[in-house]
Amino acid sequence: MTVTSDITVLQAIRQAGAEVLSSCEQGICGTCLTPVLEGTPDHRDSVLTDHERSAGNCLVPCVSRSCCDRLVLDL
């Protein structure tokens, strides 16, 4: 699925017909924290620490985007 830069990862997941548990959808609660299997997330949340962001193995999809052409999540 091609995702444009004006939608969040969570919106793209839902458009693809999948679902991720979410609550605040503002990047502050961490309910939707999702493992990243491949790619580089563009973190825009207030949940992850700098260390967790640099590790790149999870993201908060309700506010995040991708820094690369392909982002694979463990849904």
Is the separation of the CB atoms in 62 and 22 below 8 Å?
yes
Q: What is the mean pLDDT of the chain?
A: 94
Q: What is the pLDDT of residue 43?
A: 96
Domain positions in the chain: 9-73
Q: What pLDDT band is residue 2 in, cutting at 50, 70 and 90?
A: confident
Q: What pLDDT band is residue 56 in, cutting at 50, 70 and 90?
A: very high
In eight-state DSSP terms, residue 62 is: T
Fold of the 9-73 domain: Ubiquitin-like (UB roll) (3.10.20)
State mean pLDDT over 23-42: 96
Whole-model pTM: value is 0.90
Cα–Cα distance measured from residue 19 to residue 55, given in angstroms and rounded to the nearest whole number = 24
State mean pLDDT over 19-39: 96
Cα–Cα distance measured from residue 54 to residue 75, given in angstroms and rounded to the nearest whole number = 21
Q: Which tokens belong to 46?
A: 């207030």
Q: Which tokens belong to 11?
A: 């919106």
